[in-house]
């Protein structure tokens, strides 16, 4: 049996950081995001023995081990090992993994990959999992089992797909699907710009700074997190009302807040690209993910998009075209290999 699955990557408009423990457990968090037509893919081929073979194109690494043997978390395909352990898989299989964007670029790639893996296992093992079950399971696999630091938004965004306002209330996560008008979606796709800054980042150090400052009750960080959450609510309202100029201005405010979480979030090259975009017609924007590198997202004046793109590419950025995804995770059996 061959099973294939895919889970979409996401762009986060606002609220990122308020989903990172312990803030949501104590204060409650909120994130506005949408999935896009970039995906993490998983192909699972069943076996009749206990052997496991995994190939990851993203990390250019392959591994073989016994499903009933000791699974040591050594930084080599730990997400797969954590899934096996969490689901108590006892039968062998082959796994082939790849993504449309490399991990560490701010699009939630690693979380989408876990969702795709869980989705494939769900299809194979006939597991009675709801989308909430899948997202929560993916979160625990990545954060608790594999020990990869991060928040709760990415697993839910990738599982559910579409535009969502996700609230984190204590240990409960609620996904609110948004009914964004087709006109607004078309205009957003016309005016949004995704720019690759030319590098990936390790988010753990940035998150350590944010978490440490919050635990130490750093007033600047606490205030920035509260303002970030408030801005997410304002962005949701602007989006639903089709007020895109207001959404762009709120993106700019959110970027100013985000930079207060840690001194590692931005650097000279990112700041240069951001200012160039603003000077040439971007109303506002932000760096996606925890920070440090990856993708910048901009909302441009409708007649300035190409000027912004030209300025960014001239400074070393790379424009990546995209559209929105509305389906979330999917899995299917392959009948013709």
Kindly report, residue by residue over 84-99, the tens digit of the pLDDT: 999 989 899 999 999 9
- CA 269 to CA 259: how far, in whole Å? 14
For residue 41, what are its two tokens? 């893919």
pLDDT at residue 129, as a whole number? 97
Q: Which residues pair with 94 in a beta bridge?
A: 45, 53
- Give residue 202's pLDDT band: very low, low, confident or very high (50, 70, 90): low
Give the residue among 257, 39, 36 at the shortest CA–CA distance from 164.
Answer: 36
CB 308 within 8 A of CB 277: yes
DSSP tag of 105:
S
Active site residue 49: no
pLDDT at residue 72, as a whole number? 86
Ranges in the chain annotated CATH 3.30.230.10: 2-179
pLDDT digits (tens, 9 = 90+) for 301-315: 999 999 999 999 999
- Give residue 199's pLDDT band: very low, low, confident or very high (50, 70, 90): low
**Residues 234, 239, 243, CA angle at the centre, nearest 5°?**
95
- CA 156 to CA 133: how far, in whole Å? 10
Instruction: Give exposure, 245-274, as e/b (b: 16+ Cβ within 10 Å).
Output: ebbbbbbbbbbebbbbbbebbbeeebeebb
**Residues 301, 261, 27, CA angle at the centre, nearest 5°?**
100
Give the residue among 166, 164, 118 at the shortest CA–CA distance from 145.
Answer: 118
* 102, pLDDT greater than 60: yes
pLDDT at residue 330, as a whole number? 97
- CA 76 to CA 73: how far, in whole Å? 7
* Average per-residue pLDDT for the chain: 93
- CA 17 to CA 259: how far, in whole Å? 11
- CA 107 to CA 97: how far, in whole Å? 17
CB atoms within 10 A of CB 11: 23
For residue 281, what are its two tokens? 């017609």
**Strands (DSSP E) along the chain, which ranges?**
2-14, 29-46, 51-56, 61-66, 93-99, 163-169, 172-177, 192-196, 282-287, 295-300, 318-320, 330-333
pLDDT digits (tens, 9 = 90+) for 1-50: 999 999 999 999 999 999 999 999 999 999 999 999 999 999 999 999 99
Instruction: Check if CATH label 3.30.230.10 holds for domain 2-179.
Output: yes
- Give residue 262's pLDDT band: very low, low, confident or very high (50, 70, 90): confident
pTM: 0.94
DSSP tag of 245:
H
- CA 87 to CA 70: how far, in whole Å? 15
pLDDT at residue 203, as a whole number? 60
Ranges in the chain annotated CATH 3.30.70.890: 182-320
pLDDT at residue 200, as a whole number? 62
List, in sequence order, the alpha helices (H) in 147-200. 153-160, 182-191
For residue 68, what are its two tokens? 């009933």
Instruction: Check if CATH label 3.30.70.890 holds for domain 182-320.
Output: yes
User: Considering 78, 154, 209, 325, which one is annotated as catalytic?
Assistant: 154
- Distance from first CA to last CA of the chain, Å, rounded? 9
pLDDT at residue 172, as a whole number? 95
- Give residue 207's pLDDT band: very low, low, confident or very high (50, 70, 90): confident
């Amino acid at each position: 049996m061959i099973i294939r699955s895919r889970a979409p990557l996401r762009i986060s408009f606002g609220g990122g950081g308020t989903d990172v423990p312990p803030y949501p457990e104590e204060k409650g968090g909120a994130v506005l995001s949408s999935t896009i037509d970039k995906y993490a893919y998983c192909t699972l081929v069943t076996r009749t023995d206990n052997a496991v073979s995994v190939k990851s194109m993203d990390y250019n690494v392959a591994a073989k081990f016994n499903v009933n043997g000791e699974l040591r978390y050594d930084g080599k395909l730990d997400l797969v090992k954590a899934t096996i352990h969490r689901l108590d898989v006892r039968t062998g299989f082959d796994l082939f993994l790849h993504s449309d964007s490399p991990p560490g670029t701010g699009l939630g790639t690693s979380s989408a990959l876990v969702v795709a893996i869980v989705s494939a296992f769900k299809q194979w093992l006939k597991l009675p999992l709801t989308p909430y079950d899948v997202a929560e399971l993916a979160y625990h696999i990545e954060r608790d089992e594999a020990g990869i630091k991060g928040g709760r938004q990415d697993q839910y965004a990738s599982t559910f797909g579409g535009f969502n306002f996700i609230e984190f209330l204590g240990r409960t996560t609620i996904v609110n699907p948004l009914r964004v008008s087709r006109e607004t979606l078309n205009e957003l796709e016309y005016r949004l710009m995704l720019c690759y800054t030319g590098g990936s980042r390790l988010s753990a150090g940035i998150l350590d700074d944010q978490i440490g400052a919050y635990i130490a009750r750093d007033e600047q960080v606490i205030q920035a997190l509260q303002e970030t959450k408030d801005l997410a609510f304002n962005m949701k309202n602007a989006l639903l009302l089709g007020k895109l100029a207001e959404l762009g201005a709120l993106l700019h405010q959110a970027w100013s807040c985000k930079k207060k979480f840690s001194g590692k979030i931005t650097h000279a090259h990112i700041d240069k690209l951001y200012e160039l975009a603003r000077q040439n017609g971007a109303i506002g924007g932000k760096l996606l993910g925890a920070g440090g590198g990856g993708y910048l997202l901009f909302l441009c004046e409708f007649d300035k998009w190409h000027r912004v793109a030209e300025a960014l590419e001239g400074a070393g950025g790379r424009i990546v075209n995209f559209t929105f995804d509305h389906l979330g995770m999917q899995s299917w059996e392959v009948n013709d290999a």
